[in-house]
């Protein structure tokens, strides 16, 4: 019988913090400036320059650590990780090895097989490196130090994940927490979240860990899933052939769907870590952690529970609306505007527009939730107009499309485009009579019991009215006239 294998995965995730300035100098962290314009002697490693720790970095790292159920080291220290590479102007990276800021936490994830805790080994602060640009035409390499010194938190998990579904659930959970806390936007494509996948396989039932490889260059959840599948198969094949897995760092090429060895895996000792003599230890007092705890915003689960309780939404709706903090904020603002306008059942009405139309249009336009840019006032105004019966459902959806894309102001838009439903019953009556006169056969069919034809007649009236009638009113009037 063929051997059964189990996949074992641990992640090292780098999250770029959304501070205004770098971790050890006052340079801007803004993405995309002209090369080497966001630099100074500190972040370009000039001799004699001295680093000064940005307090905001510690605040953010603490907020993240607490949200991930970690324990905080009362004193944490910075160490130098020495390596020579042109993206690293000091020839060492300031990181934390011996006393990281947080340790021993966990995230609870949800997959198709239920809830599971993924333990976090530790979290530490460090600085990012510069960016190398390899120019094949000029046959040279260029370096941009704008990213050098941008603050990162590295989150190291225990090897607790067993498949790509768990890995993606873990990353999504981490991303959601970061977004709710406002500490990072966590975009894999832009590199503000980077995940290295450590993977090994072992015979099912074994309690020993196999030899692992570490995979880098994973720029999307899809790439991560493919890389895990590919690496698992590669390792099993090696073992089946009686060969062994080499501990090494591999680079995933998502176009070729293949990873290749970059370097044999280095150990901590290869980096000659030692305490950074330029930076004093950071003492994190009880009062400091308490202050961070008190400032901690409501996170996704709490928010979802509050929606169920306060807004009487279903657990499913509450979880959909809280999958992005931005979406949840827009939703809550819409609800409170509707409540000010004394619209009954405001939460349910707003929820319908977010879950129905907003999510549908996001998918249709291929947009991220974070890219939503309409003003809640505009949606609230549209809902009010609907409530008054001034536009019918179909028109309202069209107007919402305009709000979604261009954030138009619905009241004047409806006015200017003559989209108001005709509430003039006299006019509606005349049209109904006209349609009945034009379709005597259909009217007879209806009267002889074929009530299905009513839909056709409603359609004819709507067409005559150019869609500007309330279909229910048309329905009512037609039935009346036919009896």
List, in order, residues 6 or more apart from 290 with CB less than 8 Å away.
none
- DSSP-assigned beta bridge partners for residue 143: 132
Chain centre distance of CA 326: 10
> Computed over its alpha carbons, how large is the radius of gyration of the chain?
30
If one asks whether residue 209 binds ligand ADP (CB under 6 A), the answer comes out as: yes
Q: What is the DSSP letter of 110?
A: E
Give phi and psi for 14, each to the nearest 5.
Answer: -100, 130
Q: Which one of the spans 8-16, 23-31, 309-317, 343-351 is the region binding Zn ion (CB under 5 A)? A: 23-31
**CB 203 within 8 Å of CB 235:** no
463 vs 446: CA distance, rounded Å: 20
If one asks whether residue 40 binds Zn ion (CB under 5 A), the answer comes out as: yes
Q: What is the DSSP letter of 240?
A: H
Out of ligand ADP, Zn ion, none, what residue 320 binds, judged by CB under 5 to 8 A for its kind, is none
If one asks whether residue 8 binds ligand ADP (CB under 6 A), the answer comes out as: yes
What is the sign of the dihedral through the CA atoms of 216, 220, 223 and 224?
A: positive
If one asks whether residue 10 binds ligand ADP (CB under 6 A), the answer comes out as: yes
Q: Which one of the spans 35-43, 51-59, 60-68, 265-273 is the region binding Zn ion (CB under 5 A)? A: 35-43
Q: Kindly state the helix (H) or strand (E) to which residue 52 belongs, with its residue range.
A: none
Q: Which one of the spans 103-111, 181-189, 206-214, 413-421 is the region binding ligand ADP (CB under 6 A)? A: 206-214
If one asks whether residue 25 binds Zn ion (CB under 5 A), the answer comes out as: yes
Specify burial of residue 112 (Cβ count, 10 A radius: 0-12, 13-18, 19+): exposed
If one asks whether residue 198 binds ligand ADP (CB under 6 A), the answer comes out as: yes
Residue with tokens 């406002």: 182
Judged by beta carbon, residue 119 or residue 326, the one nearer ligand ADP is 119
If one asks whether residue 261 binds ligand ADP (CB under 6 A), the answer comes out as: no
Residue least distant from ligand ADP (Cβ): 10
Residue with tokens 């309690």: 207
Judged by beta carbon, residue 102 or residue 350, the one nearer ligand ADP is 102
Query: Within positions 111 to 130, which residues make up the interface with ligand ADP, using CB under 6 A?
Result: none
Q: Which of 33, 35, 45, 159 binds ligand ADP (CB under 6 A)?
A: 159
Q: Which of 88, 90, 148, 200 binds ligand ADP (CB under 6 A)?
A: 200
Binding site for ligand ADP (CB under 6 A): 8-12, 156-159, 198-200, 209-210, 212, 268
Binding site for Zn ion (CB under 5 A): 25, 27, 40, 42-43
């Amino acid at each position: 019988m063929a051997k059964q294998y189990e996949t074992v995965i641990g992640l090292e995730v780098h999250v770029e913090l959304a501070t205004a300035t770098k971790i050890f100098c006052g340079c801007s962290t803004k993405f995309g400036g002209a090369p080497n314009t966001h630099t100074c002697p500190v972040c370009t490693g000039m001799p004699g320059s001295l680093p000064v720790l940005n307090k905001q970095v510690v605040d953010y790292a603490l907020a993240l650590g607490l949200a991930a159920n970690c324990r905080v080291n009362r004193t944490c220290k910075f160490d130098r990780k020495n390596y020579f590479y042109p993206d690293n102007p000091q020839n060492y990276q300031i990181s934390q090895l011996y006393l990281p800021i947080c340790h021993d936490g966990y995230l609870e994830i949800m997959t198709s097989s239920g809830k599971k805790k993924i333990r976090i080994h530790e979290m530490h602060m460090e600085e990012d490196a510069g960016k190398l640009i390899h120019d094949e035409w000029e046959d040279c390499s260029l370096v941009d130090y704008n990213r050098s010194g941008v603050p990162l938190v590295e989150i190291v998990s225990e090897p607790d994940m067993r498949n790509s579904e768990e890995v993606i659930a873990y990353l999504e959970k981490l991303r959601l927490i970061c977004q709710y806390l406002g500490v990072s936007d966590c975009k894999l494509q832009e590199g503000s979240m980077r995940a290295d996948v450590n993977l090994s396989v072992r015979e099912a039932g074994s309690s020993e860990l196999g030899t692992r490889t570490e995979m880098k260059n994973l720029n999307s959840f899809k790439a991560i899933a493919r890389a895990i599948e590919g690496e698992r198969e590669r390792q099993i094949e090696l073992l089946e052939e009686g060969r062994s897995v080499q501990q090494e760092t591999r680079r995933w090429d998502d176009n070729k769907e293949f990873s290749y060895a970059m370097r044999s895996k280095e150990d901590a000792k290869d980096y000659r870590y030692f305490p950074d003599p330029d930076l004093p230890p950071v003492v994190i007092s009880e009062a400091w952690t308490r202050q961070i705890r008190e400032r901690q915003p409501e996170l996704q689960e709490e928010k979802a529970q509050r929606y169920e309780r306060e807004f009487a939404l279903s657990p499913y709706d509450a979880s959909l609306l809280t999958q992005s903090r931005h979406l949840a904020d827009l939703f809550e603002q819409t609800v409170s505007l509707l409540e000010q306008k004394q619209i009954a059942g405001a939460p349910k009405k707003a929820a319908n527009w977010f879950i129905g139309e907003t999510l549908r249009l996001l998918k249709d336009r291929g947009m991220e939730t974070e890219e939503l840019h309409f003003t809640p006032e505009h949606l609230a105004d549209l809902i009010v107009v609907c409530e008054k019966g001034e536009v019918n459902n179909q028109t309202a959806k069209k107007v919402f499309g305009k709000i979604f894309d261009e954030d138009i102001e619905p009241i004047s838009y409806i006015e200017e485009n003559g989209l108001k439903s005709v509430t003039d019953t006299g006019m509606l009556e005349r049209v109904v009579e006209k349609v009945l006169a034009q379709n005597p056969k259909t009217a007879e069919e209806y009267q002889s019991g074929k009530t299905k034809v009513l839909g056709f007649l409603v359609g004819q009236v709507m067409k005559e009215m150019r869609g500007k009638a309330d279909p229910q009113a048309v329905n009512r009037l037609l039935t009346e006239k036919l009896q």
